[in-house]
Amino acid sequence: MKDFRKLQVWDKSHRLTIRIYKVTESFPREEVFGLISQIRRSAVSIPTNIAEGCGRNTDTELARFMEIASGSASELDYLLMLVRDLDLIDEAQYTEISANVTEIRKMLTTFIKTVRNTSNSQMLRAKS
Break the chain into its structural domains and give their ranges.
4-127
Mean pLDDT of 104-119: 92
Per-residue pLDDT, 123: 54
Write the pLDDT tens digit of every residue in 48-81.
999 999 999 999 999 999 999 999 999 999 999 9
pLDDT band at 105; cut points 50, 70, 90: very high
In this predicted structure, the answer to whether residue 83 has a pLDDT above a threshold of 80 is yes
Architecture of domain 4-127 in this structure: Up-down Bundle (1.20)
- Are the beta carbons of 9 and 50 closer than 8 angstroms? yes
In this predicted structure, the answer to whether residue 127 has a pLDDT above a threshold of 70 is no
AA letter at 96: E
CA count, 13 A, side-chain hemisphere, 120? 7
How many residues belong to the chain? Answer: 128
- Residue of 30 and 50 predicted with greater confidence: 50
Tell me the C-alpha distance between 40 and 17, whole Å. 7
Mean pLDDT (the chain) is: 93
